[in-house]
């Protein structure tokens, strides 16, 4: 019997010139979206197809309400929820120490919401997923993420600096995910937002999970699509043949 995986896609899709740091910026930015179809192709090849021994259910929570139907058509999620982030702006603001915190705390909310969708499916189907992956709809990946390589007594972040401060993707057990989803509330209990720090602080000091970085390193094996040429292509970490494979 195959194991079960929950692939949880969360957050807004980036624009080609994008800064979602501040309140409302994801909607006031009128640039085009990055080529999110290419992101899906990379996820399909290097996550979904790379794990044929797993049945993979996809869940989506996104603030990109205007491309809802496109994303649903691409990913065919088991459950999805698309919401206008402005509905939560006052609530998110209340957890911010400065205006620059808005984007990171908004990210914590979308993580909570997609993990809630995963839990709905677990409750309905009366089983827990064997592995839970949190991934972004605007990050291109060009190396295989092999689920069986993860020791799920640990909570995994991407290999950013090798210090467990990455936030492009997370890999965990279902039990860990049920506590990790309260990252959002931790801002009310002394866990101040800080880029590349507050998530690690929450996992280590609040959840008490042992942590590891996985072998997938931003820039070398995955990257936010809007930055792919200024970083990974420039430094030779992704080839023109790989880009062509993803229609880039």
In this structure, what token pair is assigned to residue 23?
């309140």
In this structure, what token pair is assigned to residue 78?
């088991």
- Residue 17: per-residue pLDDT: 84
Residue 19 has pLDDT above 80, yes or no: no
Beta strands in 115-166 (DSSP E): 131-135, 139-141, 155-157
- For the chain, helix, strand, coil in percent to 5 are 45, 20, 40
Q: What residues does 157 pair with on adjacent strands?
A: 170, 213
Beta strands in the chain (DSSP E): 3-10, 54-62, 79-82, 131-135, 139-141, 155-157, 170-172, 211-213, 222-224
- Taking residue 91's Cβ as centre, other Cβ atoms within 10 Å add up to 11
Pick the CATH number of 3-245 from 3.30.2010, 3.40.720, 2.60.40, 3.90.550: 3.90.550
Going from the C-alpha of 132 to that of each of 101, 177, 213, 232, the distances in angstroms are: 26, 7, 15, 27
Domain ranges of the chain: 3-245
- Residue 148: per-residue pLDDT: 98
Assessment of whether the complete model's pTM goes beyond 0.85: yes
Give the pLDDT confidence of 114-162 residue by residue, as tens digits.
999 999 999 999 999 999 999 999 999 999 999 999 999 999 999 998 8
Question: Residues 150, 169, 129, CA angle at the centre, nearest 5°?
Answer: 55
Give the pLDDT confidence of 29-66 residue by residue, as tens digits.
888 999 999 999 999 999 999 999 999 999 999 999 99
In this structure, what token pair is assigned to residue 56?
């993979």
- Residue 75: per-residue pLDDT: 98
Going from the C-alpha of 7 to that of each of 29, 68, 114, 115, 184, the distances in angstroms are: 28, 18, 10, 10, 20
- Residue 97: per-residue pLDDT: 92
- Residue 60: per-residue pLDDT: 98
Contact 229, 248 (CB under 8 A): no
């Amino acid at each position: 019997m195959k194991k079960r995986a929950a692939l949880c896609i969360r957050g807004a899709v980036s624009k080609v010139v994008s800064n979602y740091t501040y309140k409302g910026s994801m909607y006031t930015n009128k640039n085009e979206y990055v080529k999110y179809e290419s992101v899906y192709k990379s996820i399909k090849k290097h996550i979904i197809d790379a794990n044929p021994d797993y049945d993979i259910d996809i869940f989506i929570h996104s603030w990109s309400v205007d491309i809802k139907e496109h994303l649903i058509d691409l990913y065919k999620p088991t459950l999805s929820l698309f919401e206008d982030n402005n509905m939560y702006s006052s609530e998110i603001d209340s957890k911010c120490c400065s205006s620059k915190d808005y984007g990171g705390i908004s990210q914590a909310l979308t993580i909570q919401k997609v993990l809630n969708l995963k839990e709905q499916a677990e409750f309905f189907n009366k089983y827990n997923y064997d592995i839970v992956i949190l991934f972004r709809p605007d990050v291109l990946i060009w190396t295989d993420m092999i689920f069986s390589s993860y020791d799920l007594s640990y909570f995994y972040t991407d290999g950013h600096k090798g210090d467990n401060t990455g936030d492009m993707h997370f890999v965990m057990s279902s039990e860990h995910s049920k506590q990790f989803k309260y990252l959002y509330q931790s801002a009310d209990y002394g866990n101040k937002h800080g880029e590349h720090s507050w998530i690690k602080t929450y996992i280590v000091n609040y959840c008490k999970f042992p942590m590891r970085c996985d072998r997938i390193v931003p820039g070398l094996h995955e990257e936010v699509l809007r930055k792919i040429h200024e970083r990974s292509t420039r430094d030779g970490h992704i080839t023109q043949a790989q880009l062509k494979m993803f229609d880039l």
